[in-house]
Amino acid sequence: MTQQKSEQEKRSQWNYEHLSEVLEEVKKEGYDKVALQGPDGIKDELINYADKLRDNGIEPVMIGASTFGACGIADEKAERMGADALIHVGHTRFLHPEGADMDDFNVYYLPYREDRDLMGVLEEHYEEIEEDTVGLVGVTQYMDRAEKAREFLEEKGFEVVEGKTGLRTTEPGQVLGCDAGAAHNIAEKVEAFVFLGSGHFHPSQVSETGEKVYVVDPYEEYIWVEPPNSLDDETQAEHARVIKHKNKKKWGIVTSSKKGQNYQRAVQIAKEKLEEHGKDVYVFVEDRIFEPDYKGYGIDIYVNCACPRMTKDWQDLAFVSVDSLKVLDEVEINHD
Ligand code: SF4
Q: Output the pLDDT for position 336.
A: 83
CA of 148 to the centre of ligand 1 (A): 27
Greatest CA span in the chain, whole angstroms?
68
Confidence bin at 308 (pLDDT 50/70/90): confident
User: What's the number of CA atoms in the CB half-sphere (13 Å) around residue 39?
Assistant: 15
Q: How far apart are CA 291 and CA 284, in angstroms?
A: 12
Pocket of ligand 1 (CB under 6 A): 68-69, 71, 176-178, 261, 307, 309
Confidence bin at 164 (pLDDT 50/70/90): confident
Q: Which has the minimum average pLDDT: 174-178, 191-195, 271-275?
A: 174-178
For residue 71, the ligand 1 atom closest to its alpha carbon is: 8
- Minimum CA distance residue for ligand 1 atom 5: 69
Q: Output the pLDDT for position 240.
A: 94
Residues 241, 328 contacting (CB under 8 angstroms): no
Confidence bin at 38 (pLDDT 50/70/90): very high
Residues whose CB falls within 8 Å of the CB of residue 214, separated by 6 or more in sequence, listed in order: 128, 129, 134, 192, 193, 194, 195, 223, 224, 225
- The enclosing H or E element of 272 equals helix 264-276
Pocket test for ligand 1, best of 176, 205, 319 (most atoms within 8 A of CB): 176
Q: How far apart are CA 29 and CA 42, in angstroms?
A: 27
Taking residue 268's Cβ as centre, other Cβ atoms within 10 Å add up to 13
For residue 261, the ligand 1 atom closest to its alpha carbon is: 7
CA of 97 to the centre of ligand 1 (A): 11
> Does 1 score more than 50 pLDDT?
no
Q: How far apart are CA 77 and CA 98, in angstroms?
A: 23
Choice between 112 and 3, residue whose per-residue pLDDT is larger: 112
Pocket test for ligand 1, best of 168, 205, 309, 312 (most atoms within 8 A of CB): 309
Residues 43, 99 contacting (CB under 8 angstroms): no
CA of 177 to the centre of ligand 1 (A): 6
For residue 94, the ligand 1 atom closest to its alpha carbon is: 5
DSSP output for 64-124: -S--SSGGG--HHHHHHTT-SEEEEEES-----TT-----SS-EEEEE----S-HHHHHHH
- Minimum CA distance residue for ligand 1 atom 6: 178
- When pLDDT is averaged across residues 309-334 and rounded to a whole number, the result is 90
Q: Output the pLDDT for position 315.
A: 85
- When pLDDT is averaged across residues 196-222 and rounded to a whole number, the result is 96
Q: Which has the minimum average pLDDT: 53-57, 154-158, 221-225, 310-314?
A: 310-314
Pocket test for ligand 1, best of 170, 307, 321, 322 (most atoms within 8 A of CB): 307
For residue 68, the ligand 1 atom closest to its alpha carbon is: 3
- Minimum CA distance residue for ligand 1 atom 2: 307
Average pLDDT, the chain: 93
Q: Output the pLDDT for position 303.
A: 97
Pocket test for ligand 1, best of 37, 71, 93, 171 (most atoms within 8 A of CB): 71
User: What pTM, to 2 d.p., does this model score?
Assistant: 0.90
> Does 2 score more than 70 pLDDT?
no
